[in-house]
Amino acid sequence: MNVKQIHQAFQITGFCTAFPFSWDERFVFHGESHEMWEVIYLADGAVEITEDENIYTLSRGNMILHAPMEFHRIRSARGSAPSGFILSFMAEGSLPEALKDGPFTLTDEQQQAYFHISREILRFFEQTEPADPYAGQAAGAMLSAFLLGLRHGQAQAPVLVKSASALCYQRLIAAMTAAVEQNCSLAELADTCFVSVSYLKLLFRQYAGISPKTYYSHLRLQRAVLLLQQGLSIAAVAERMHFSSTNYFITFFKKQTGKTPAAYSRQELSAY
């Protein structure tokens, strides 16, 4: 028998949170990043979402995926009281790149399918012992199939905010990303975009909900993790990223992740 093997490029391994939301027009959730995948579906109203350097406005029927360690922030928009569903999950592998670039507009049929999947995931969370041992696996398989199917469906329809302040914010993120290994001061970063430090702080308060220093630390952590995954030693990463000492890098890393670089690397290796 000639068996065609299935390559498991992406597999959901566990659900972290799942909940419907209904917010008033003043709702703001300040920015964060985490090790989970997160899916936000908007059933009604409008929200403004900051995702790394991009700022999107989502409306009814839009969905967006946040990859692990991707910075994101959300707030009500257009004077509306938005509602929808948020879930987060852990996974092995990675989704296609086409699913990571901005929001999707779901068809009515896709919205109905996602509503059914959401109910199944909520039922899984509500289970008490003795639980159905296949319930979580079935819900994970349904969600995986749904997300993978999006790459062949409706085209992406991002609504980017393009105000002067939003474009300046994007330039600042680009400057931070370019200087992520240099350990620059806020004054140096502001100078690259010809703005004052006070205006830099104002933009981050408006679009990120966190300080520029916190965001820059987030970017530096991402790069440090990448360098460790590429096989660089802890000392080499500390030197390359211009930390004053290896010990200071270890302290920085543990403050950001709760783990030392060595413990984080061991955890990564044990996943394979």
pLDDT tens-digit map of 102-134: 788 899 999 999 999 999 999 998 887 667 778
**35 and 126 assigned to the same domain:** yes
Q: How far apart are CA 215 and CA 187, in angstroms?
A: 15
Tell me the pLDDT band of 155, cut-offs 50, 70 and 90: very low
How many CB atoms are closer than 10 A to CB 42?
25
Q: What is the pLDDT of residue 178?
A: 93
- Quick one: 15 and 101 in the same domain? yes
pLDDT tens track for 164-188: 888 899 999 999 999 999 999 999 9
Within-domain flag for 159: no
- Reported as a single tens digit per residue, the pLDDT across 8-25 is 788 899 999 999 999 999
C-alpha angle 255-258-260 in degrees, rounded to nearest 5: 85
Q: Whole-number mean pLDDT of the chain?
A: 89
Model confidence at 240: pLDDT above 90: yes
Give me the pLDDT at residue 1, please. Answer: 72
* Cα–Cα distance, 215 to 221 (Å, whole number): 10
162 CB contacts (<8 Å, ≥6 apart)?
Answer: none
16 shares its domain with 139: yes
For 33-142, strand residue ranges (E) read 37-44, 46-51, 54-59, 62-66, 72-76, 83-93, 104-105
Q: Peptide bond preceding 130: is omega within 30 degrees of 0, i.e. cis?
A: yes
Query: Of all residues in the chain, what percent carry a pLDDT higher than 90?
Result: 62
Domain that holds residue 264: 164-270
| Count of alpha carbons within 13 angstroms of residue 196, beta-carbon side | 3
| 86 contacts 17 by C-beta, under 8 angstroms | yes
Please check the confidence at residue 77 and state whether its pLDDT lies above 90: yes
Render pLDDT for 131-149 as a digit per residue (tens, 0 to 9).
Answer: 777 888 899 999 999 998 8
State the CATH number of the domain containing residue 56.
Answer: 2.60.120.280
- The answer to whether residue 4 sits within a structural domain is no
Number of domains in the chain: 2
